[in-house]
Chains A and B, each alone.
Chain A
Amino acid sequence: MTRPARLIDLAAFVADGTPVDWDAARLGSAAPSGAALLARLRLVERVAQLHASLLLPDSAPLHESLLHSTDGRAAPAEPCTWGPLTILEKVGRGTFGDVYRALDPRLDRPVALKLLRRREPSADALETAVIDEGRLMARVRHPNVVTIFGAERIDGRVGLWMEFVDGPTLEDELKTKERFEPRGDRRWPRPVPRAERGTPGRGLAGRVVGTVVRYFCAVTVQAI
């Protein structure tokens, strides 16, 4: 019964996040299966450590370091223009791009501009996929869906510009515990009917409804 008792003690250490002297633990496990069990428990410890690193209270810097290379280069200056758009202010930073409030002089209206960060040349195909998807989404017209005006690569940077909806981010909403007030008297965003005119298909409509529903419009605009 020595091995199970020891195993559960070590398991408790792993659960606690207490460092384990795995070399000593091996010495204490004489049974052939002991070493295997300890190796598996050590694997679980690494799973716990990885998740713990993601769950640090101040996880934002870690989050960013996981998402983007940290090669020591200085952050590029904020752009003033992108193509025909005049950038007014940065309103959000997301997983793979920054979001700006910009002015489209042709439309004479503010727009939300999502600019992908500059990437390695190997990411060209990914950027093309983003443009393709943006153009596809621009075909959707629905009162519950943010209107995408276009998607282009200009001066080497990929951007999508869309209707600007002024509002708090989901992060803000969560911090302040404010209610996610639905529009009108509905509890959930109104789903787009499959056969809605102008929507190219169920798959796209579903994706758009999922990502750019006006109900969470500000979230999407500012947290892309």
Chain B
Amino acid sequence: MPAPDSSALSTATLLSRAQDGDEQALNDLFARYIPILRRWATGRLPRWARDVVDTPDLVQETVVQTFKGIDRFENRGEGALQAYLRQAVMNRIRTELRKAQRRPGRVELTESMPDDDQSPLEAAIGTEAVERYEAALARLRDEERELVIGRIELGLTYPELARAVGKPSTDAARMAVARALVRLVEEMDDAPRTAD
């Protein structure tokens, strides 16, 4: 009898099975998260870093490395896993950026290429704004953070989000995201005033 298709299972179920040694579940987790995180990472890497850091490989390595410790991962659900993986990739990006900047031969930025040092997100809203956003995100409660990351950064639908964080309905997930965003902006510092 052919093995049942596990790709439609919830991440929590896949995670649980993977922790029990089910390799198909682990493969399905890879398939579910690597593409999402690869796209996410392209928004967080400066252009110059993409020249020396291979984004697909970086994400792949990080996810593989993270799942290698899957036995020790506290299974608090899909949302927690998404936030955890996103943070793992973020940490890896920061590490790679530091390494790349230390390498000899690093190109000095010039006036003619001011955007090379910025990620697409930084280019869109500014480095300082990204830092304020990240700082506020870090101050949220776990579920709030998972909701913001899931909806705002990873683009999950409300049904997916409801499943990820254990909300009873899509409406409940939508309201929870809205409340989390209110908390986020309340936690966020204001932009520093520029001197006149």
Contacts and interface: CB of A to CB of B under 8 A. Distances in A.
**B partners with A:** yes
B181 A47 contact: no
Looking at chain A, what size class is its interface with the partner chain? 35 or more
A199 B155 CA distance: 42
Contact of B43 (A51, A125, A173): A51
A24 interface: no
Interface of A: 4, 7-9, 11-12, 14-16, 36-37, 39-41, 43-44, 46-52, 54-55, 59, 63, 66-67, 94-96, 119, 122-123, 125-126, 128-130, 132, 170, 173-174, 177-180, 187-188, 210-211, 216, 219-220, 223-224
Interface residues of B, number: 63
B51 A41 contact: no
Contacts, number: 159
Interface in B150-175: 151-155, 174-175
Given A50-B124, A129-B104, A170-B34, A11 B182 contact: yes
Nearest to B53: A95
B42 A67 contact: yes
B31 to A, nearest CB: 5
Contacts of A39: 190-191
User: Chain B: interface secondary structure?
Assistant: helix
A45 to B, nearest CB: 9
Contacts of B50: 67, 95-96
A59 B60 CA distance: 18
Interface stretch (B9-17, B20-28, B72-80): B20-28
A15 B57 contact: no
Interface string B71-104: 0000000000000000000000000000000011
Given A40-B190, A95-B54, A96-B50, A216 B60 contact: yes
Contact of A43 (B24, B51, B125, B155): B125
Contacts of B110: 122
Q: Which 10 A-B pairs have the closest CB atoms?
A: A55-B155, A11-B181, A12-B178, A40-B185, A125-B105, A11-B178, A15-B177, A40-B188, A48-B152, A210-B61
18 contacts: A15-B178, A43-B125, A43-B129, A43-B133, A47-B124, A47-B153, A51-B43, A59-B39, A67-B42, A95-B50, A95-B54, A122-B113, A123-B51, A126-B106, A170-B56, A177-B28, A224-B54, A224-B57
